[in-house]
Amino acid sequence: MQKGYAWQMEEAGKPLVRKEFDLPSPVSAELLVEVSGCGVCHTDLGYYFDGVRPNHPLPLILGHEISGLVLEAGEGAESWVGKKVIIPAVIPCGKCGLCLRGRGTICRSQKMPGNDIQGGFASHVRVPEYGLCEVDETKLEAAGLTLADVSVIADAVTTPYQAAVRSGIGKGDLAVVIGAGGIGGYAVQICAALGASVVAIDIDASRLESVRQNGAALALDAREVEGREFKKRILEFAENQGLPAQEWYLFECSGSVAGQKTAFGLLTHGGTLCVVGFTMDRFELRLSNLMAFDARALGNWGCAPELYPAALELVMNGSVAVAPFVEQYPLDSIQNIFNAAQRHELTKRAVLVP
């Protein structure tokens, strides 16, 4: 029998272990996918370094930003064989009441690779067929991308895309993205592609320079601007550009207490706060600001599979650049890559390739 291999987490913080395994045969409505690439996400680091508990007991193969080629299919899913796909980071069942009402991201039977089921830091992965996004090879080549490159669409692109779509942001609006690396860099590009003028905030000068070239109309260094000065600078920008002084769209993508405080402090009358980044840390806030400003706060868990094709098209038509923000590494370098990512030494999102 053909063998596959994976790097699995046997204990949080302990060295990842390389294991071989017999390729699993997909059962009804399942697929066996040969992994082309799997992106390294902040969430993976949370499981590994910070003790965030996955739903699946250890040992567990992490990784939820997966693209690949469908090799085998269970009964009822045969039409997928031979297709290149992106696997949703959150796979709903597609059948329950929540899914039927369009709330698949909170489906109680959802499967997240690298959390609920074995993930993509492997040569092969077995997943449910529901919600997969087919990748057109001709468009992929025309865009100058590889299938491994677009693995990051499964979370880094689609998560802020869903947040933007849900917020209702559009032409003539003002977006403020806090945290311009990773998902934040894509949030900047997505909001710009949807017609908004975008202000980006970060503490990393190289990230700010990157988003200046990819959608940000104004980039602010949080090491140089503090407290109320943020709102003053953005109000000045809005006035100069003929943009609204209220109803700002705030996307907190840093996943840090500092970022969340900044985002909440930037609420305006009629504003929308989209929480996209994740942290286990807490801070004190005055929730009544939402009431006083007649504002709203929106959470965002993953992305509904039905939104994936539109997000993919933004990448394929060049509205959202992926290639400048990803770098491929051999899967067998996973331990070094995890360590480098934790030390903030990577300037691009790592994609691990078997």
pLDDT tens digits for 79-91? 999 999 999 999 9
Measured CA angle at 117 (ends 65, 59), to 5 deg: 105
Same fold, 3-155+303-353 and 160-299: no
Contact 154, 43 (CB under 8 A): no
Contact 251, 177 (CB under 8 A): yes
A 10 A CB-CB count for 206 gives 10
Which two structure tokens, joined as six digits, stand for 146?
């590889």
Helix-helix angle 308-316:183-193, to 10 degrees:
80
Dihedral Cα 204, 282, 289, 200, nearest 10 deg: 10
Write the secondary structure of the chain as one string of H (helix), E (strand) and C (coil). Answer: CCEEEEEEECCCCCCCEEEEEECCCCCCCEEEEEEEEEECCHHHHHHHHCCCCCCCCCCECCCCEEEEEEEEECCCCHHHCCCEEEECCCECCCCCHHHHCCCHHHCCCCECECCCECCCCECEEEEECCCCEECCHHHHHHCCCCCCHHHHHHCCCHHHHHHHHHHCCCCCCEEEEECCCCHHHHHHHHHHHCCCEEEEEECCHHHHHHHHCCCEEEEEECCCCCCHHHHHHHHHHHHHHCCCCCCCEEEECCCCHHHHHHHHHCCCCCCEEEECCCCCCCCCCCCHHHHHCCCEEEECCCCCHHHHHHHHHHHHCCCCCCHHHEEEEEHHHHHHHHHHHHCCCCCCEEEEEC
Distance CA 289, CA 299 (A): 17
Which two structure tokens, joined as six digits, stand for 176?
């403020």
Q: The domain 160-299: what is its CATH number?
A: 3.40.50.720
Per domain, the residue ranges of the chain are 3-155+303-353, 160-299
Does a cis peptide bond (omega within 30 degrees of 0) precede residue 59?
yes
Contact 276, 253 (CB under 8 A): yes
Give the mean pLDDT of 87-113: 96
Give the mean pLDDT of 171-193: 96
Question: Which segment of 141-150, 154-163, 220-229, 239-248 scores lowest on mean pLDDT?
Answer: 220-229
Contact 178, 254 (CB under 8 A): yes
CATH of 3-155+303-353, one of 3.90.180.10, 3.30.70.3150, 3.90.79.10, 2.40.128.50: 3.90.180.10
Global pTM?
A: 0.95
**Residue 225's pLDDT band (cuts 50, 70, 90):** confident
Q: What is the pLDDT of residue 258?
A: 94
Q: Which residues contact 188 (CB under 8 A, 6 or more apart)?
A: 175, 177, 180, 198, 200, 211, 214, 215, 216
Distance CA 314, CA 321 (A): 9
Which of 277, 38, 63 shows the shortest CA–CA distance to 177?
277
Largest CA distance in the chain: 67
Cα 81–chain centre separation: 26
pLDDT digits (tens, 9 = 90+) for 35-85: 999 999 989 999 999 989 999 999 999 999 999 999 999 999 999 999 999
Q: Which residues contact 342 (CB under 8 A, 6 or more apart)?
A: 45, 49
pLDDT digits (tens, 9 = 90+) for 240-269: 999 999 999 999 999 999 999 999 999 999
Give the mean pLDDT of 317-331: 96
Residues in the chain: 354
